[in-house]
């Protein structure tokens, strides 16, 4: 885990790791060519895609979808990130461990979004970062955080007042 496979043995556990990128807004059709845009991304491994999203509860925000078909987003492109040699069962354990680090109530547009998640997964699996343009807007936002509205400087997800953590179940 973490080291990219360089041989082409073709074992059943060898698989491509790809970044699937989606447009969040039609304006990306214009800004993409200047290296900007508002993107969602997911990581594709062993025929499934994994992403990270926000919700109000202190449980994982990691989800699984069919590749290149994340609901609510417009698929733009796939970027090959490398190959790994990891059986599907080992990958499942890996992604479940990652999910424990990415709770939905910790999602933040600037500092912990879906693109941060895919970058973290990519680095741990292949040793490679995702392309900079995918999360460039968040990086610029972090550099200029004092200029951003207060609503973007704090977490964007709030607990519902009627939500209470269950215990003793």
Q: Which CATH architecture has domain 14-153?
A: Alpha-Beta Complex (3.90)
The answer to whether residue 103 is catalytic is: no
Catalytic residue among 70, 103, 114, 116: 114
| Predicted local distance difference test score (pLDDT) of residue 159 | 41
Q: Which residue in the list 40, 70, 103, 116 is annotated as catalytic?
A: 40
DSSP state at residue 12: T
pLDDT tens readout for residues 24-48: 999 999 998 888 899 999 999 999 9
Residue boundaries of the structural domains of the chain: 14-153
Decide if 44 contacts 17 (C-beta within 8 A): yes
Structure tokens at 77: 């492109």
Nearest to 135 by CA among 98, 109, 169: 109
Whole-model pTM: value is 0.80
Which residues of the chain, if any, have pLDDT below 70? 1-10, 139, 141-169
pLDDT at 105: 95
* 116: annotated active-site residue: no
The reported pLDDT for the residue numbered 34 is 86
């Amino acid at each position: 885990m973490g080291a990219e496979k360089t041989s082409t043995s073709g074992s059943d556990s060898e698989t491509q790791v790809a970044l699937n990128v989606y447009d969040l807004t039609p304006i990306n059709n214009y800004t993409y060519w200047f290296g900007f845009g508002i993107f969602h991304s997911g990581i594709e491994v062993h025929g499934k895609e994994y992403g990270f999203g926000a919700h109000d509860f202190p449980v994982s925000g990691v989800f699984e979808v069919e590749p290149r078909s994340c609901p609510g987003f417009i698929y733009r492109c796939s970027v090959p990130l490398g190959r790994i040699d990891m059986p599907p069962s080992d990958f499942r354990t890996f992604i479940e461990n990652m999910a424990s680090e990415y709770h939905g109530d910790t999602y933040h547009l600037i500092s912990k979004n879906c693109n941060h998640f895919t970058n973290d997964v990519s680095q741990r699996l292949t040793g490679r970062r995702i392309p900079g343009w995918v999360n460039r807007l968040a990086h610029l936002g972090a550099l200029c955080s004092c200029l951003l509205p207060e609503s973007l400087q704090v977490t964007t997800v709030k607990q519902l007042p009627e939500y209470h953590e269950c215990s003793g179940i």
